[in-house]
Structure 1
Amino acid sequence: MWSSFTRKTLLIIGTAWLFDALDVALLSFIMPMVKAQWHLEATQTGLLSSVTAIGMAFGAILFGKAADQFGRKNVLTASLVLFSLGNLALAFSPNYHWFLVIRFIVGLGLGGELPVAATYLADHFKGTLQSRLLILADSFWAVGWLIASVLAFFFANNLGWRGLLILTAIPVLFALILRSKLTDAPKITTKSPTLKTSLIANFNYQTILLWLTWLMVMFSYYGMFMWLPTILASRGNTLVTGFGYTVLITIAQLPGYFVAAWLMGKIQVRWVFIIYMLGTALSAFAFGQADGIPATIVFGSLLSFFNLGAYGTIIALTPVQYLPEYRGTMTGIAQGIGRLGAVIGPLLVGWLLDYHVSVNHIFTIFMMSLFIGALAAVFLPDRLNA
């Protein structure tokens, strides 16, 4: 039975994943609206997501390092403030180029949320409970995506993309109040290691494999899911119907997380990750070949089940690889490296669509990347510093 402290901490830290997903999902829903308003090419539309990922890559590293220096709680609060103010400014962006600049700033805050949140949980819990909490915290991602889907479904036509962005700023105030109740872990050292020192101390083949797994997870996730509403619409569905599909597909994420959390302690974490990556690869191929509504829902649901379960498992695997004094920095770097995949994925899909490459061929590329990530994890121990 979990203590009240454990449940409270999970709820508060889970908001990091909730707001991250809320933003990413909302961007995927408003992309068609922005594209239509400013008459963008598919490649330009893909850049809307990729510039966010670039900001997130820098944010993960900068805020991860700051968490080792100034404490997890303070940096978590700062990242949320930057993200929320950035999204408010985004709602008033006058043109495409200003939208890109502000999205980069929003990305800085978003990128800082997840590695610091994962580090906080790793500091306070150990063993199987730690792994389960990290995966369950990531399950808040599905909640955030569902909230974004509902907001888009009911308010997109009336509020437009600018109104939706303003609407999402409201719950941030509640999250700031919650985070004020967190208690930070004691500082490990009086002076945190520099970025260079952290890299030298932890740079080995296992770290490189960890970076590769992050790269493949984010390349596949952002490449597929940022374009999901657009792909559904291209198959003859209206935009609103696409939202309905996305809600159903997103619900499938929750059992994916819960099964992964249940598997913690029963088999090694890396093998849970490998199973989920292989399941995602096969589901991606099947989704690319899907023809008709039933097949789209079935294989899209399987894709969500496995891809998000893999995402949660790699989050559980990462912070425990490093000693506490390096944990924030190295977790941030790992996610920052992964964000490169989040940059490349949406851009690649946009470029391929501009050149009329079929959806099934695009999803075959993602299948291959997922196999590479699974293979890298075979040689990755559960704990680098064990």
Structure 2
Amino acid sequence: MLTTNKINAPVFRDAKAVNVSGRLERLPMTSYQRRVFAAVATAWLADQVNVALLVFLVGPIAAYFHLTKVQIGLLASMTFLGQLIGNLVAGYISDRMGRRYAFQLTMLIWGMGSFLAAGATGIVTLMVFRLIIGIGVGGEAPVAQAILSEIIPADKRGFYISFMEGFWAVGFVISGLLSYTVLPYLGWRGVFVAVGILSLVIFWARRIIFESPRWLVDQGRYDEADMVLTNVENEVMKKWGKALPPPKQYIPETSQSIRNPFHILFTHAYLRSTIMLAGLWFFALLGYFGLTSWLAVILTQHGFSVIKSIGFVSLITIGGIPGFFAAGLLLERLGRKITTALFLIMSAVLAYIYGHSISAELLFVSGFFMQFFMFGMWCCLYAYTPELYPTRARSTGSGVASAFGRVGAILGPIVVGFIISGAGQGAVFSLGAVSFVIAAALVLIFGIETRGRVLEDISRQEEIA
């Protein structure tokens, strides 16, 4: 209930009085929310800037430290290992200590790691610093998913979260530009310094991000939640230019008393989603990274030089850009289950065709559309995952799912290495196709539809089911 204190300021006694979901869901999208979205989406930009950096720096780093191929592989794997750790730790911190705190903390971690990497004295220290960078950028992902899913209205939530994935491509471009402009003059250490400076710029840009009102209410901090909501409502009203519609009906989220987010993932209500998402992420990323590691290799069978094969792969990757937008639109029109399964199945079909192409023309066409569907697949994963958990376990659930994906990402290139030695390159793409089909089957059999539904309503359905 709502009472007042001595200075007539409202004091909220329960979640129903604050009505977070009803007040957020009635808000029109304005430039204010889009600014907040852009600040959150820098997580994806930073992620790809750091992950892609070794693509451009591995040559000069290997020459500087006289690295063996094994050492190069270990250095590259440190980022994935760090991301796995970051997924789990930052997701938990976000659910227990707050979205905003965890989000800024992860950025400071990868920024610090970048500055430290610039001063690496050997391969071991550089591996440690790349691990730190991986923890930071990996930790950003589940927190960013939770933030956006909790502040964007249900009818636009899937589109905006999938659109955020498009910043992944922007990050790759920025990583390449930084390397291209800085490397010739300041060397690979200068590039790491430039990325560290980028972290300071992003930290400043994220000052506008507010704490999730849904998280505050779940913590019993009702007055703070109302204060944040009131500020958001005032900003939106200013941008919209007229009075806001009345709040929608209050929907309670969960009746569970359990507070430990890891425990919640394995309760009867959410165990099905946890198993489904773990398998979905594992097989989707096993297929994706298993394939992308060998996209250029198969071109040598068709007489492409190394330089031409890199250019060819870069060209077909352009197909992924419209894939982002298509996935975002279909997630809101067809639904999460159908769109996710569709993009996975089409990724499987195109991967198989690419791996068994008999002409350069077929390679290009199948490769272009394979990237279209694989990039769109990423959008589906990130949009769907945070919707399946309650507020108190949303970041942790997203982090655990992503962590299973990182395991697939680490194993993918390793498994492919054994397969290509015994069964040839065509079998690699058959493995990718099978992985995508298994992931699609998991969604279709065990997934629930969440399109256009308020987060609280989704959580209650899972608890009742």
The TM-score normalised by the length of structure 1 is 0.88
Summarize the alignment of residues 74-223 of structure 1 with structure 2, pairs less than 5 Å apart.
74-152=101-179, 160-186=187-213, 187-190=216-219, 193-201=259-267, 203-223=270-290
TM-superposed deviation, 1:189: 3.2
Distance 1:29 1:296 in 2: 25
What displacement does 1:334 show? Answer: 1.3
Taking the TM superposition and a 5 Å limit, the aligned residue runs for 1:1-386 are 2-31=29-58, 33-35=60-62, 38-41=66-69, 44-152=71-179, 160-186=187-213, 187-190=216-219, 193-201=259-267, 203-225=270-292, 236-239=304-307, 241=308, 244-290=311-357, 294-350=361-417, 355=421, 358-379=424-445, 380-383=447-450, 385=459, 386=461
C-alpha distance in structure 2 between counterparts of 1:90 and 1:117, whole Å: 25
- Paired with 1:370 and 1:45, the residues of 2 have a C-alpha distance of 28
Q: Is the 8 A contact 2:273 2:388 kept in 1?
A: no
SS of structure 1 residue aligned to 2:156: helix
**Distance in 1 between the 2:114 and 2:135 partners?**
12
Whether the 8 Å contact between 2:113 and 2:129 is mirrored in structure 1 is yes
Letter of the 2:218 counterpart: T
CA distance in 1, matches of 2:120, 2:294: 22
Q: Is the 8 A contact 2:344 2:437 kept in 1?
A: yes
2: CA distance, partners of 1:141 / 1:94? 30
Q: Would you say the 8 A contact 1:317–1:382 is kept in 2? A: no
C-alpha displacement of 1:179: 0.7
Paired AA for residue 299 in structure 1: S
Structure 2 residue ranges without an equivalent (≥5): 1-27, 221-257, 451-457
User: Cα gap change, 1:93/1:301 in structure 2, threshold over 3 Å: closer, same or farther?
Assistant: farther
After superposition, the Cα gap between the structure-2 partners of 1:318 and 1:150, relative to the gap in structure 1 and judged at 3 Å, is same
Please say if residues 146 and 251 of structure 1, whose CA atoms lie closer than 8 Å, have aligned partners that are also in contact.
no
Root-mean-square deviation (Å):
2.9
Aligned mates of 1:325, 1:54 — CA distance in 2: 26
| Equivalent position amino acid for 1:372 in 2 | I
1:122 partner amino acid: S
Which AA in structure 2 matches 1:133?
Answer: Y
Q: Structure 1 CA distance, aligned partners of 2:102 and 2:134? A: 15
CA distance in 2, matches of 1:141, 1:57: 18
Quick one: distance in 2 between partners of 1:116 and 1:126? Answer: 18
Deviation (angstroms), 1:129: 0.5
Judge conservation of contact 2:218–2:391 (CA < 8 Å) in 1: no
Q: Which runs of no fewer than 5 residues in structure 1 stay unpaired?
A: none
Distance in structure 2 (CA, Å) of the matches to 1:185 and 1:139: 23
- Cα–Cα, structure 1 residues 208 and 79, in superposed 2: closer, same or farther, change >3 Å? same
Provide Cα deviations, 1:140-160, integer angstroms capped at 9, x if missing partner: 111112223444556656655
1:229-252 Cα distance to aligned partner (Å, 9 max, x none): 67768964345x555445433332
* Contact 1:73 1:182 (8 Å CA) reproduced: yes
